[in-house]
Amino acid sequence: MSVSSKRWSARSGLPVAWWSLISTGASAALIGFISTFFIVLQGFYNVGASPSQAVSALAVLCLFQGGLGIAYSLLTRKPYAFAWSTPGSAILLGYNQPLVGFGEAVGAFFMSGVLMLALAVVPNIARYIEKIPASLSSAMLAGVLLSLSTSFVPAFERYPLIMGVVAALWLVLFIFKPLFALPVTLCALFAYFLLQPPLAPVVEASALTFEWVVPVFTLSSFINLSIPLFVVTLFSQNIPGYLILRNNGYTSHFPGMLFVTGFATSCASLFGCHNLNLAALTAAMCAGPLACEDKSQRYIASCAAGISYWVMAFFAAGLVSLLSVIPSAVVLALAALALFSTLADALRDALKSDLYYPAVATLMITVYFPDFFHVSSSFWGLALGFVFYLAYSRKKRG
């Protein structure tokens, strides 16, 4: 253990290094949860989940990602962190195809996990997936997010003063304290609407129960949901999470991580959960020097993050009840703000490649292309963008 760990914190009675590890892990989990949980909930609602199903899914996601982080960190003594797929939630928010109840979405979640499992165990599939440039996945995600950003317009039309203040508060915090922009803005909205007559139906808080959802498997949901969820989770979450660990000096077996996250996704989907994956923000905080100078001790921060997720799982019902006091139009607008960084990162990753024309084509098809044959534009964007990429790269080589 580093020399710093021999100093003691007068406040907590713990060695300073341990206090730093525990506080960093807990803070990483709390920031990640508060900044995105309402995006996850709205995504579930958009694909047909009832409030009780959404609460159950949110709680099970917390239990799974906390348990995976604790187990892997203790077994390997490395700071593994897992999270729900925020880009996946964005896909759910932007989904506009008819579904046969929430069960059809759950079937798509299950198959998305199976695709990740297949990628981990079948070399030929991995070889083909590796041929899809990450820039096309980023462009598809950016297209979905650009479409979602229009949700700001109806919120401004209905609540111009509130949304003006919210946008100004978020902008100031985003410039000076970006990690706190969404949590503080969300707390300010809670405080405002709790003091007002209810503008939206309030969901009664109830005891946490776990709801089993029977999956319904259809070709339409597989094409429109499973494949986009699989692709954005792989390129926007699992690969960055793996690279963060590697850049901080930790080696890991990437196919094994894909297998674990795919298997966990398929299991958790039976309770209404979408994709689980390697974390990016939480991993960056827990695996970096912010947690502790001693690399061999940083796994404790990931364990602390996992325990924090377990605690937050049991507050899921109360959070849904609290969120219901805010009108849905305002929540969607706040979700668009919450995904601003994700959109900026996706646009950057899409356009930084030399072959940026196929990425722009993918982006435009995703935003503007009609849903032919009941197949969503996100799939068409990725498929036609890949065809464009093959033709353009061959011409450029020739």
pLDDT tens, position by position, 386-395: 899 989 888 7
For residue 27 the two structure tokens come to: 């803070």
Cα–Cα distance between 142 and 366 in angstroms, integer?
9
pLDDT tens, position by position, 23-43: 778 877 877 787 788 889 889
Q: What percent of the chain has pLDDT over 90?
A: 30
Smallest CA-to-CA distance from 265 within 142, 141, 106 is with: 106
> Which residue type occupies 212?
W
pLDDT tens, position by position, 308-325: 999 989 887 777 777 667
pLDDT tens, position by position, 291-308: 777 888 888 989 999 999
Q: What is the mean pLDDT of the chain?
A: 82
Pairing status of strand 276-278 against strand 82-84: antiparallel
pLDDT tens, position by position, 127-144: 666 677 878 878 887 887
For residue 377 the two structure tokens come to: 């534009």
Selected residue with higher pLDDT from 242 and 217: 217
Residue 223's pLDDT band (cuts 50, 70, 90): very high
Q: Which pLDDT score, from 0 to 100, does residue 141 have?
A: 77
pLDDT tens, position by position, 61-104: 999 999 999 999 999 999 899 999 988 998 898 888 878 789 99
Q: What is the pTM of this model?
A: 0.75
Confidence check: pLDDT of 105 > 90: yes
Q: Which pLDDT score, from 0 to 100, does residue 305 have?
A: 92
pLDDT tens, position by position, 46-68: 999 998 899 899 999 999 999 99
Cα–Cα distance between 246 and 329 in angstroms, integer?
41
Can you tell me the mean pLDDT for 212-227? Answer: 93
Class of residue 194 by CB neighbours under 10 A (exposed 0-12, middle 13-18, buried 19+)? exposed
Q: Which pLDDT score, from 0 to 100, does residue 84 have?
A: 94
Q: Which pLDDT score, from 0 to 100, does residue 69 have?
A: 94
User: In this structure, are residues 136 and 362 in contact, taking their beta carbons and an 8 Å threshold?
Assistant: yes
